[in-house]
Structure 1
């Protein structure tokens, strides 16, 4: 009984903190991803015009790290983690990705999902479908702590 009381106290303290962290991640993960944003919007599978394969490696690089698309094009990204570490591909504006990377450093154990991102364990494959609305540059990055800072970033040039 003596060991159960401290355990229950710890659970009682941690539960609201974990709920707050999860709520924070959910709201941030969807920031700019469910509606039109400078990065575009989630694409519809029926409107995919082409598929682009992207590899993520432990060298902290994407292959390819630069992709060119047409304005309004919907692309299916087939993303494969060829490394031995967890990696993710997150599409967003440079400022969104930088802010999100900072947040991930402070919440390293947090995991999240959204239409603009895919997180993959070693050897896994996943996909993202994204519509690029406006001309310019849209970025993508791995926001696993320290991967962004190591240069695991790429660009989509929208013409």
Structure 2
């Protein structure tokens, strides 16, 4: 925890931007849900919309099927009126990181598996899914996941 606090403070001082936070992953370790993709290589494009609804908040679609070993370019459009983010990981990691986000609501991610997108803007993530299984994607801005902003990636 101390390591991440130091990194966040250094990022704030160096960039003069909102605190950048690590998602709790050691960037040297292999992630069960895959690895950053190579933008210079072909990728299947997956469009995801983020928005507020009368019932809460949502990703559309909220379930995505991917083949193991497939590289995907997520094009993430925020059609809402609030900032949103997409962070994918295993469910346990996202829930744990959501608790940290609640303690530090201005935290932003600086990870290949995450993108924060301002209203009416578009973000991208290129990722290669290396392992079969079910994985989570969530908006970890406090209150957003709890309002329904999460989904499942099924890697077969």
Partner residue in 2 for 1:116: 113
What SS does the corresponding residue of 1:47 show, helix, strand or coil? coil
Which residue matches 2:15? none
The answer (yes or no) to whether the contact 2:21–2:110 under 8 Å persists in 1 is no
Instruction: Please state if 1:56 is matched with 2:50.
Output: yes
Against the structure 1 CA distance between its residues 81 and 102, is the aligned structure 2 distance closer, same or farther, given a 3 Å change threshold? same
Whether the aligned pair in 1 keeps the contact of 2:62 and 2:150 (CA below 8 Å) is yes
Name the CA distance, whole Å, in 2 between partners of 1:58 and 1:38: 30
After TM superposition, the score normalised by the length of structure 1 is 0.80
The 1:99–1:133 alpha-carbon spacing in structure 2 relative to 1, beyond 3 Å, is same
The structure-2 alpha-carbon separation of the partners of 1:116 and 1:32, relative to structure 1 and needing over 3 Å to count, comes to farther
CA contact (8 A) 2:21 2:109 kept: no
* Contact 2:137 2:150 survives alignment (8 Å): yes
Output the aligned Cα RMSD.
2.1
CA–CA distance in structure 2, aligned partners of residues 33 and 85 of structure 1: 29
The structure-2 alpha-carbon separation of the partners of 1:26 and 1:39, relative to structure 1 and needing over 3 Å to count, comes to: farther
Cα deviation for residue 153 of structure 1 reads 0.5
Cα distance in 2 between the residues matched to 1:92 and 1:76: 16
The number of residue pairs the alignment matches comes to 141
Query: Partner of 1:38 in structure 2?
Result: 32
Cα offsets for 1:69-128 (capped at 9, x unmatched): 111000000001000011000010000100011100010122232111000111110100
For 1:33 and 1:47, locate their aligned partners in 2 and report how far apart those are by CA, in whole Å: 22
Structure 1 residues 142 and 73, CA, compared in 2 at 3 Å: closer, same or farther? same
21 and 106 in structure 1: CA distance in 2 versus 1, 3 angstrom threshold: farther
Give the match's secondary structure for 1:98. Answer: helix
Name whichever structure is richer in strand by fraction.
Answer: 2
Task: Give the TM-score, by structure 2 length.
Answer: 0.82
**Pair member with larger Rg:** 1
- If each structure's helix is expressed as a fraction of its own residues, which one has the higher value? 1
Q: What 5-or-longer segments of structure 1 have no aligned partner?
A: 1-18
Q: Assess, with a 3 A threshold, how the Cα gap between structure 1 residues 105 and 41 changes in structure 2: closer, same or farther.
A: same
Helix, strand or coil: the match of 2:50?
Answer: strand
